[in-house]
Chains A and B, each alone.
Chain A
Amino acid sequence: MKIGFYPRLAADGIRKNRRTFLPFILTCAGMVMMFYIIMYLASGDILSSTFGAETMRQIFALGSWVIMVFSGIFLFYTNSFLMKRRKKEFGLYSILGMGKGNIARILFWETVIVAVFSIVLGLIGGIAFSKMAELGMVRIMGEEANYRLSVSTLAIKRTLEVFGAIFLLLLLNSVLQVRFSSAISLLRSESAGEKPPKANWLVGIMGVLLLAAAYWLAVTIKDPVEALLVFFAAVVMVIIGTYMVMIAGSVAFCRLLQKNKGYYYRPNHFVSVSSMAYRMKRNGAGLASICILATMVLVTIASTSCLYFGCESVISDRYPRDVNLLLRADGMDALSDENTEDIIAAVDGYVKSNVGAPENAYHFRSLTISGGLNGNVIEPDITKLSSAADARMIYFIPLSDYNAVMGENETLAPGEALLYVNRNSFKADTLSISGGAAFRIKKRLRKFIENGETSMNMLTSLNLVVPDLEAAARGLAGLANFNGDPLLRRSLVYNFDIEPDDQEEFINGLPAFLSDSGIKERLGFTSCTLESRENERRDYFSIFGSLFYIGIIMSLVFLIAAVLIIYYKQISEGYEDQSRFEIMRKVGMTKREIRRSINSQLLTVFFLPLAMAALHIVFAFPIIRKLLLLFNMDNIGFFAATTGISVLAFALFYAAVYKLTSNTYYNTVSGVKEEQ
Chain B
Amino acid sequence: MSILEVSGLRKVYSTRLGGDKVEALRNVNFTVEQGEYVAIMGESGSGKTTLLNILAALDRPTGGTVILDGKNLRDVKESAVAAFRRDNLGFVFQEFNLLDTFTVEDNIYLPLVLAGKSYKEMHSRLVPIAARLGIEKILKKYPYEISGGQKQRAAVARAMITEPKLILADEPTGALDSRSSDELLRLFTEVNSLGQTILMVTHSVKAASSSGRVLFIKDGEVFHQIYKGASTDEEMYQKISDTLTLLATGGNVK
Contact = CB atoms under 8 A, between A and B. Distances in A.
Interface in A576-604: 580, 583-593
Nearest to A589: B114
B111 interface: yes
B216 interface: no
A270 interface: yes
Contact of A587 (B81, B100, B101, B111): B111
B83 A588 contact: yes
A625 B48 CA distance: 73
A265 B100 contact: no
B30 interface: no
A588 B82 contact: yes
Interface in B45-73: 56, 58
Contacts of A592: 79
A589 B82 CA distance: 6
Interface in A402-427: none
B83 A590 contact: yes
Contacts of A270: 106, 109-110, 113-114
B19 to A, nearest CB: 19
A274 interface: yes
B230 to A, nearest CB: 37
A262 interface: yes
A267 B144 CA distance: 24
Contacts of A34: none
Contacts of B93: 586
B122 interface: yes
B228 interface: no
Interface string A256-288: 000001100111001100110110000000000
Nearest to B162: A588
B110 A193 contact: no
A270 B114 CA distance: 9
Interface string B102-121: 10001001110110101100
Contact of B119 (A262, A271, A277, A590): A262
Contacts of A278: 100-101
B71 to A, nearest CB: 16
B113 A193 contact: no
Nearest to A582: B97
A428 interface: no
Contacts of B101: 193, 271, 274-275, 277-278, 580
A522 interface: no
B37 interface: no
Contacts of B116: 266-267
B86 interface: yes
B13 to A, nearest CB: 11
A267 B82 contact: no
B99 A583 contact: yes
B82 A193 contact: no
A265 B91 contact: no
A3 interface: no
A191 interface: yes
Contacts of B97: 583, 586-587
A585 B113 contact: no
Contacts of B165: none
B143 interface: yes
A204 B163 CA distance: 44
Interface residues of A, number: 27
A192 interface: yes
Contact of A584 (B56, B79, B89, B99): B99
B102 A274 contact: yes
B158 interface: yes
A261 B119 contact: yes
Interface size range on B against A? 20 to 34
Given A261-B119, A262-B119, A274-B106, A588 B111 contact: yes
A586 B98 CA distance: 11
A592 B80 CA distance: 11
B142 interface: yes
A588 B114 contact: yes
Contacts, number: 76
B203 interface: no
A193 B100 contact: yes
B125 interface: no
A271 B111 CA distance: 11
A580 B158 CA distance: 16
Nearest to A185: B144
B27 to A, nearest CB: 24
A188 B144 contact: yes
A174 to B, nearest CB: 21
Given A587-B91, A589-B82, A192 B114 contact: no
A560 B15 CA distance: 43
A94 B35 CA distance: 49
B100 A192 contact: yes
Nearest to B113: A270
B142 A192 contact: yes
B85 interface: yes
Contacts of B144: 188, 191-192
Nearest to B59: A676
A589 B97 CA distance: 14
Given A277-B101, A278-B101, A580-B99, A588 B86 contact: yes
A191 B143 contact: yes
Interface in A276-323: 277-278
Interface string A370-403: 0000000000000000000000000000000000
A631 B251 CA distance: 98
B122 A265 contact: yes
A586 B97 CA distance: 9
Contacts of B114: 267, 270, 587-589, 593
A587 B158 contact: yes
A241 B49 CA distance: 54
B142 A584 contact: no
Contact of B109 (A265, A275, A580): A265
A270 B106 CA distance: 9
Contacts of B158: 587
Contacts of A274: 99, 101-102, 106
Interface centre among B119, B122, B142 (most CB of A within 10 A): B119
B86 A267 contact: no
A587 B122 contact: no
A381 B248 CA distance: 109
Interface centre among B58, B83, B110, B122 (most CB of A within 10 A): B110
A591 B81 CA distance: 10
B119 to A, nearest CB: 4
Nearest to B95: A583
Contacts of A191: 100, 143-144
Nearest to B112: A265
Contacts of B81: 590
Contacts of A262: 119
Nearest to A279: B101
B131 to A, nearest CB: 21
Contacts of B109: 265, 270
Contacts of B113: 265-267, 270
Nearest to A585: B82
A585 to B, nearest CB: 7
A441 B85 CA distance: 86
Nearest to A588: B86
Given A265-B122, A583-B97, A590 B82 contact: yes
15 contacts: A265-B118, A266-B113, A267-B113, A267-B114, A271-B101, A278-B101, A580-B100, A586-B93, A586-B97, A587-B91, A587-B158, A588-B85, A588-B89, A589-B114, A590-B81
Given A191-B143, A583-B99, 18 more contacts: A188-B144, A191-B144, A192-B142, A192-B144, A265-B122, A267-B113, A270-B110, A274-B101, A274-B102, A274-B106, A278-B101, A583-B98, A587-B110, A587-B114, A588-B83, A588-B85, A589-B82, A590-B82
Interface of A: 188, 191-193, 261-262, 265-267, 270-271, 274-275, 277-278, 580, 583-593
The 4 nearest A-B residue pairs measured at CB = A588-B86, A590-B82, A278-B101, A191-B100
